Chain A
Amino acid sequence: MQEKAPGEPRGARNGPRTILDETGIRRTLMRIAHEILERTEDPGLLYLVAIPNGGVPLAREIARNLRQIAGIDVAVGILDTTLYRDDLTTTAERPLLRLTEMPSAVDGRIVILVDDVVKTGRTIRAAMDALMDFGRPQVVQVVGLVDRGHRELPIKLDYVGKNVPTSPNENLRLRGDAGELRGRLELVLEPSDAADSDDSSRSARKGGGA
């Protein structure tokens, strides 16, 4: 149903294209771990909060990297943003809820939200609202493995793996084992028919209804 925008970025029309393979992802997350340490005065306050599902293996990998680089144990939480979405009343079917597991308090911590793909910024907004219900962090920062652009809210990423200009009608998703960073894991750009991630599904619907 989606119309292809003219002058759409390369590749998508010809089928799936790998944006980052597993090695690329690992390298990127290592770089981000270094950046976090560089910019954080007191790494003891760090608290990685993953947005499921894609953010979970990434946050765990970053935590492993931080331990490896600096010998620190950083708490990893999982925060489902579904109940904080702003489009629930317009969806025909309610989306499935995902695990929320916040092992320690967020008060006074430097919370780093981790997501795989950031586009409109609405998921990050929802995650921040959810976070505030858990307490009062000192600072909130955001990691995005990929930034696709197309922002609809004033959200900026503090740590970006890769900027990937895309058409709003394309899907970018993390393929592979969602729980752990192991086995085949890659970021794949594909033409969108069936919308997958929250961000792209919202866009797709808007595009379809406009």
Chain B
Amino acid sequence: MIGRDLLGIEDLDRSDIERILQTAEHMGEIGEREVKKVPTLRGRTLVNLFFEPSTRTQTSFEIAGKRLSADVVNFSPRSSSLTKAESILDTARTLDAMDPDAVVVRHAVAGVPKRIADVLEAPVINAGDGAHEHPTQALLDLFTVRREKGRIDGLTVTIVGDIVHSRVARSNIYGFLKMGAEVRLAAPPPMIPAAVETLGVKAFTSLREALDGADVVMALRIQNERFAGSYFPSVREYAATFGIDRATLRYAKDDAIVMHPGPVNRGVELSHDLADHRPSVILDQVRNGVSIRMAVLYLISGRLHRGGVA
């Protein structure tokens, strides 16, 4: 059930997801108006607490908050080794004393939003924690797929790339499975998480097999600088074995769509041409991200002060 916080897709059930997607449909309409703003969260303060920088996600939440008339404050404690010693809970308590109405948390280490939510009065929305979850990304991906395909139930979704380090992969695995899709993974073996089948997915080492009959192909970003040479030998070899281009896409269904959470390493995860053109829907994902985050802010920041509502 949608609770006070949105920490992960794992905590949601299908009807929660439906409700968020449904709400996002209506939020999308506001973005098409001349005045892209409604007074819903007027007088409410939304804090973007980003320990790990992410211009894209932060901007998306900021726009979503502003379209709902919330006052949006960006707070980015530097995660240098010097400030590392500050307890995250101290930061959270300090913030809470300023009475925010919702706090969006991003951190490079899994579990931080949960620990912050445990001490905070305000609801917490996870904007990505380590390799754990990135629920709004998965919601916007579900939203995008449903708009493109008219349904999610019964689809085959293949996620390709750095699964082990990916919060996007985990949230999407939970999301698509809960909505009735089949989820497959394809990656160089060191990038497949341990015991991943316990999540209900099947892992492939052959891209071709993983793509066979897929309706949705989701490529994940490869962090070249960190993992080339350790998790796979080289960017060139990665692109040749797991890169998606029009040729490999032929293994998937004719009407398959291509997704990517961005930013794309062109010529690595996706060919240049696919990064920009159909069947890739990358810019739709970004656009839908604002609607999804508006929906989440609308649904979640309602339960502000615990026990404060009669």
Contact = CB atoms under 8 A, between A and B. Distances in A.
A–B touch (CB < 8 A): the answer is yes
Interface of A: 80, 83-84, 88-94, 96-101, 129-130, 133-135, 205, 209
B298 A89 contact: no
A96 B22 contact: yes
A96 B23 contact: yes
B303 A92 contact: yes
B44 interface: yes
Contacts of B38: 83-84, 130, 133
Contacts of A90: 309-310
A129 B38 CA distance: 9
A96 B302 CA distance: 13
B298 A134 contact: no
Contact of A89 (B22, B30, B33, B44): B44
Contact of A99 (B26, B30, B33, B68): B26
Contact of B309 (A91, A99, A101, A130): A91
Interface string B27-52: 10110011101111000100000000
Interface of B: 19, 22-23, 26-27, 29-30, 33-35, 37-40, 44, 68, 298-299, 302-304, 309-310
B34 A134 contact: yes
B167 to A, nearest CB: 26
B26 A100 contact: yes
Contacts of A96: 19, 22-23
Name the residue in B44, B302, B310 with the highest tally of chain A Cβ atoms < 10 Å from its Cβ. B302
B302 A94 contact: yes
Contacts of A88: 40, 302
A92 B23 contact: no
B35 A89 contact: no
Contacts of A97: 22-23, 26-27, 298
B34 A89 contact: no
A80 B39 CA distance: 13
A83 B40 contact: yes
Contacts of A99: 26
A83 B302 contact: no
Contacts of A134: 33-35
Contact of B29 (A89, A100, A129): A100
A78 to B, nearest CB: 10
Contacts of B303: 92
A209 B309 CA distance: 11
Given A90-B309, A133-B35, A133-B38, A80 B302 contact: no
Nearest to B303: A92
B26 A89 contact: no
A83 B39 contact: yes
Nearest to A105: B34
A205 to B, nearest CB: 8
A96 B27 CA distance: 12
12 contacts: A83-B40, A83-B298, A89-B304, A90-B309, A91-B309, A94-B298, A94-B299, A97-B23, A97-B27, A100-B26, A133-B35, A209-B310
Contacts of B299: 94
Closest 7 CB pairs of A and B: A97-B26, A83-B38, A133-B35, A83-B40, A94-B302, A94-B299, A92-B309
Contacts of A94: 298-299, 302
